[in-house]
Amino acid sequence: MSKGKVFGYSGTDGDHWFGVEAYGTKEIQKIVDPDGGNAESMPCAIPTPFARMDLVKAAFENIEKTPELKHHKQTTKDGSTIVIASSDHEKLVSDTLDLCELMFNYDTISQSQKLEIITWNRNNELKDLMEGGNPKHRRYAETLEMFLEQDKDTFNFEGLDKIYLIKFNHQIIGATSSLTLFFTTGNDLTFAQLKIAKKDVIFDEDYAPLYERDPEFQKYLWLLFECNPLLKSKMSDFYRYLQKNLTILNTKNPSLYKEIQALKSDDFTQNFEALDTGTANDNVSVLGCVFRKRKSQDIIQYIKRMSGFKINSTKFNDDLPPLVLQNDFTISLQYAKENWDAPKVPFEDERTLDKRYLPGFEHSIKYPYLTVSDFLEPKLVRLIYPINDDKYYTGKVIVNTGDDSKGFLLPLKPAFFEYFDAGDLMSVDSNTPNIEITMGVANSVRVCLTIPIQEGHSIVFERVYKEKQDASETNNKGKIVEQRFGMTLFPFIKTNDENISPNYRVQLLDSDTLKETIVNDYELHFYNNKSPKKSLNTDSSIRTDKNSSKSKVTSKYYILKNEFDFIQVSTQQTNGVIIPKWKPYTRGNSKFSFAVDFGTTNTHIEISEEDNEPVPFSIENNDEQIASLFDPARVDDALEKEAAFSLKASIDMEFVPKNIGSGFDTKFPHRTVLYEKNNFDPDKTTHCLADYNIPFVYGKIALRDGKVVPNLKWAKRGKLNEIRSKGFFEELIMLMRSKVLLNGGDPNSTELTWFFPSSMSSARIGDLTQNWNETFKNYFPNSPTPTRISESLAPFYHIKHKFPGGGMSAPAVGVDIGGGTTDVVIFQQGNPQFMTSFKMAANTLFGDGFQQGIAPENGILNKYIPEFKKLLKANKLTELSFALDDVISKKRSEDINSFLFSIENNPKVERDQADKFSYSKMLAKDGDLKVVFLYFYTSIIYHVALITKAKNIEKPKDLFFSGTGSKVLNIITSDKKYLQDLSQKIFEDVYGEKYETNKFKITQPESPKELTCKGGLKFKSDDEVMPKDIFKIYTGLEGKEFDKLTYNDVKSAGEIFDQVADKVKEFNRYFLSLNQELNFKDLFGVSEASIKILRDGIDTNVKDYIVQGTNYNKELDEVTDDNSTVSETFFFYPIIGLIKDIRNELTSIKK
């Protein structure tokens, strides 16, 4: 008998139609798929509108029976293949878990992608269909209702009142299911492929069982069932899946297995938050069990921990390090919950960082991120000159088209520095940001700012700036704006040493004169790395205004008492950043000593390092103190082309020169003048190098936008002049301080020596002392208090070693002829024995006597100015011509003369032409004028001889000169021997006794002005002699030669003047007799006519001059009490007066 056949799957045997059990799972599984379970499509085979729900349930049921929760075939004993679960089942389960996980991560899904939860309310929606009057709708509704009712047990429809429909990008992707939590659409879900975890793209072809998914999600599902036991029974297929998953975890991921085992029901509510439909408290649920989602805070923490886009900044310390994002970033780094899938990153986000949502999650993940407009400015400021890249960081400039003759401000916003120090930008370390500026066609500029993120990756913020496009941060379009401004820092030092108080001046020059930019109002904001959010406090002062300035430039000065790392330059329209390339600083320990000879006309500074031989103060190329933004080596053409030369010139005029010293345009000694702004108001707070400065170009170029103030030393006492002289000191001290810091000096052991004239009143010396001490202490707070020395004494200390016996065996006399005073010191045994001082000096010859500002009446000038004008014009020295005009306009004879003397040494004058421009040589050849110089000189020597004789001092054998005024000796004669002979004769005549042959010697140093300072620096405290102790005034009164006189004495005893007048007249007679003895014409080239003029006027006004001079001096010393002591001899008053009176006559002598 052949084998029978049963046409069914029960496996039961019987005849004909025989009874079997209703087919259950076991029987159904036996049904062999002829294609091996690899069917491509997933048919919806169930006769109910809710077929898809059942389909998903069946998929879970089948997948759960497989060993790894994946599609699975099994070969039976008889060799046939049974499909336990097909790949379709696997897909359905995977898609359902995808949807579930998507909802779990609801908050991470961008609202822009429109993930929506729509509620289908059973009662309302069915009622709508039923009662809407549409029979087709009613028929459909009744069908739904029938199935909902009939299948309520198997589909868990009992109590179902809502189905939550999930839409993505306006398309339905699935819904809640009372069988399997969720079910998905049968339509293609490719459009909804999203990365929701590092490796998982939902709805893709790479199906993932639960245990391969996000551990948090697995915990969530586990807890969902643990906390809702109803689900365990109602969704038993799903629950069995979870249990199987747990079993698999035990081997595949034991740690997660343990974590899940350890979960407590509290964790469910604590770790996850309810999933609502978008309306608060309208929670999404199934079978009354509320779904939950990842806490948004958890996402934040996750991003904080995991994101590869976190800014790589050690500086930023806020809780959440922002992500740095750019469009077109192609590396698949961990972004938020998933890897980067290039969402659209806005170029600008107007919200503050803490209110920002991540791109791609615009309404769900509030997490700070940075985009291009946070760091890059909308406008790029182009300068009209190349930047000084030795002193300022320019970024990496690449020139593809055009040239680099115009620099750019860094278009960085200060926010950048909240994350990085200025130094990071300049560092070549790969983990630091850098900026690249590429110049392209049509003057366009591409700026690429590279920001380091995690693991060596970086983000590039890129913006293209063009001249002819409007700036739009939203569209990442930048505009180039050209601005004509300059900036210079002083000093260019950053010590980072808290014990060294910073004190900066920053000059900002604005020469924007074009229509579009003339309104620019420039401001500088200074920041340090530590507090990039708040600019440092500054004072500022506008000194000139381009609208009224002759230089067409606005100058503004910032006073800054803090060190800084970068500067923001702002106008109403633009911002840009300047980063100084500060040089590394180490505090040095060299002792620097400075000596300042604050002269009436010129001031000199000598400097000695570690007690070495003093040298004049200089600023060399290697210790430049200022840093101009422009490149000084390349700037001339650029500025000339733009007619903005004032950007450079104003530095020298109003600020600090780049160099000072031999071989440079300016050097010490320098004119003692201050350049202050117009309408300088002493009642307002003013600052050195802001409201005023020492104009080191004085006399070289015209200073037309302010006021040049001379006569600082002897100006009337008062607030204004105190500020001025103190200001003059301050700039000098600032230069000294920079010098010390830049050259390894110790700012705590810096010494300053300054000098005062012996003839100066105590009150004035007190003023000077206070000014020097206070100012010095401001800049060198820990250094010793400055030392003061008499001007008269100082030179001797420098040269005393040059007199082997000088001053030792026989006395030596030092004569220091300055601009305003002449000091005389008599040394014996190497020590000063005696000294005196009087205000007859160089100004007596070239200045305006007892009056001020009467240069037009100065015959010498009237004679020589036209000659110099002619000379300058013939030699096309236009700049010097302007400078001369400028100084002439101030009507100060001493200044004009000083200028004329300086011309021969002006760098504009060719060296081999210098003689032609030598004022000294012109004067030396002027026979009509020479008598004055001779008279001047003779009076001094005569006066010294009177004194030494009166003091019973042996005839001096050495006479040495110092001071600028001593240069008059060269005008008198170029042969020193004649002067020696003359001087020797005066001493012999006064003493009435002859010298031994060749015993008298005159020493006249080449740089007489420097002697004071050099001597001051040689001065040792052992040498200290109190000038007051040896200071004597020769009264000219017989028997009372050195008595102290008061103004009362003078007033009460009018005969004092007569006695002095007699003494002067005696000298006058002696002078005229000398001519007869020696023949001044032969010896010195003095003209006959001039001698005649002198002789005629010589005794005319002697007494009047004494009275006039006394009053002038009294006023100068601000004497209010007639008991005050007279501060100098009256002897020179008639001589000064005569010189002034006959000067004009002499210069008008016709040949």
Partner 1 sequence: MSKLYIFAIGGTGSRVLKSLTMLLASGVKTRNAFDIVPIIIDPHAANEDLKRTKKILSGYQNIRKKLDANNLKENKGFFHHKITTLDELDGNLSDSFSFGLQDVTQCKFGEYLDYDTMGDSNKDLAELLFSGKSINSLGNEVSLLDVDMDIGFVGNPNIGSVVLNQFKDSEEFKVIASQFNEGDRFFIISSIFGGTGAAGFPTIIKNLRNAIKTNLPNKQIIADSSIGAISVMPYFNIMPSDDSPIKRADFIAKTKSALSYYKDNLTGQAAAINRLYYVMDDFSGTPFENDAGNNGQKNNAHFIELVSALSIIDFMGANNDELSTVNGKAQDPVCKEFSTRSDIGKITFSDLNHITEELISNPLASMMLFKKYLDENIDEVAGDIAWSKNNELLVDSNFLQSTFYRTHLKDFLNHFKEMIEEMSATERSFSPFNIGSDIATLISGKEGKAGWLKRNIKFDSIDAKLNSNSRDKTYSSVEDKLIALFSETMSEVLEENYKIN
Smallest gap, in angstroms, from Cβ of residue 482 to partner 1?
Answer: 58
End-to-end CA distance of the chain: 168
Tell me the three state secondary structure of residue 509: strand
Least distance to partner 1, CB of residue 145, Å:
10
Tokens of 75: 């070969």
Location of structure tokens 């009143």: 761
> Among residues 21 and 611, whose Cβ is nearest to partner 1?
21
The DSSP code sequence of 200-241 is: -EETSSS---GGGS-HHHHHHHHHHHHH-HHHHHHTHHHHHH
Pairing of strands 369-370, 323-324: parallel
Residue 4 or 1039 with smaller CB distance to partner 1? 4
* For partner 1, the closer CB: 142 or 1088: 142
Which CA distances in Å does 736 have to 619, 780, 1072?
10, 10, 50
Taking the complex as a whole, the smallest distance from the CB of residue 1 to partner 1 amounts, in Å, to: 7
DSSP letter for each residue of 599-668: -SSEEEEEEEETTPPPEE--B-GGG---EESB-TTTHHHHHHHTT-THHHHHHHHHS--S-BSTTSS--S
Count other C-beta atoms under 10 Å from residue 521's C-beta. Answer: 12
Quick one: 54 or 64, whose CB is closer to partner 1?
54
Q: How far is the CB of 157 from partner 1 (least distance, A)?
A: 12
| Inter-CA distances, 869 with 19, 785, 874, 910, Å | 139, 47, 8, 17
Nearer to partner 1, 25 or 782 (CB): 25
Q: Cβ closer to partner 1: 52 or 604?
A: 52
SS3 state of residue 145:
helix
**Residue 851: Cβ-neighbour burial (10 angstroms; 0-12, 13-18, 19+):** exposed
Smallest gap, in angstroms, from Cβ of residue 89 to partner 1?
9
**What SS3 class is residue 862?**
helix
- 3-class DSSP assignment, residue 988: helix
Which is closer to partner 1, CB of 155 or CB of 329? 155
User: With respect to partner 1, which residue has the nearer C-beta, 36 or 784?
Assistant: 36
What's the CA dihedral at 200, 203, 206, 209 to 10 degrees? 70
- Minimum distance of partner 1 from residue 50's CB (angstroms): 7
* Shortest separation between residue 150's beta carbon and partner 1, angstroms: 5
Close Cβ partners of 481 (under 8 Å, ≥ 6 residues apart): 379, 380, 381, 382, 517, 573, 574
- Shortest approach of partner 1 to residue 362 CB, angstroms? 24
Q: Quick count: other Cβ atoms within 10 Å of Cβ 692?
A: 26
In the complex with partner 1, which residue's Cβ is closer, 55 or 825? 55
Q: How far is the CB of 78 from partner 1 (least distance, A)?
A: 13
Beta carbon of residue 465, minimum distance to partner 1 (angstroms, whole number): 49
CB of 450 to partner 1, least distance (A): 47
- Of 985, 925, 982, residue with least CA distance to 955: 985
Pick from 1019, 1004, 1009, 1007: nearest CA to 604: 1009
Bridge partner list, 191: none
- In SS3 terms, 361-423 reads as CCCCCECCEECHHHHECCEEEECCCCECCCCEECCEEEECCCCCCCCECECECHHHHHCCCHH
- Smaller CB separation from partner 1, 41 or 622: 41
Whichever of 138 and 1065 has its CB closer to partner 1, that residue is: 138
Half-sphere exposure of 589 (CA within 13 A, CB side): 0
Least distance (Å) between residue 408 CB and partner 1: 56
> Minimal distance in Å, beta carbon 207 to partner 1?
17
CB of 522: closest distance to partner 1 in angstroms?
A: 60
Closer CB to partner 1, 144 or 808, in the complex? 144
Query: Smaller CB distance to partner 1: residue 27 or 362?
Result: 27
714 touches 1116 (CB < 8 A): yes
Nearer to partner 1, 129 or 607 (CB): 129
R_g of the chain computed on alpha carbons: 49
Phi, psi of 968 (to 5 degrees): -60, -25
Q: What are phi and psi of 100, to 5 degrees?
A: -65, -40
> Shortest approach of partner 1 to residue 210 CB, angstroms?
22
Residue 74: CB minimum distance to partner 1, A: 15
| Shorter beta-carbon distance to partner 1: residue 17 or 997 | 17
Smallest gap from residue 203 Cβ to partner 1 (A): 13
Shortest distance (Å) from residue 110 CB to partner 1: 21
C-alpha–C-alpha distance, residues 961 and 289, integer Å: 110
Task: Note whether 256 and 215 are within 8 A (CB).
Answer: yes
Give the Cα separation of 459 and 65 in Å (integer): 48
Rounded to whole angstroms, the Cα distance separating 109 from 117 reads: 13
User: Of 449, 492, 502, which Cα lies nearest the Cα of 581?
Assistant: 492
**What is the distance between the alpha carbons of residues 80 and 866, in angstroms, rounded to a whole number?**
127
- DSSP β-ladder status, 958-962 and 1001-1003: parallel
Of 154 and 782, the one with the shorter C-beta distance to partner 1 is: 154
Q: Indicate the residue among 167 and 634 with the shorter CB distance to partner 1.
A: 167
Six-digit token string for 257: 């297995």
Neighbours of 294 (CB within 10 A): 24
Q: Which is nearer to partner 1, 31 or 643 (CB)?
A: 31
What secondary structure, in 3-state letters, does 167-183 show?
EECCEEEEEEECCCEEE
Task: Please give the DSSP secondary-structure letter assigned to residue 41.
Answer: S
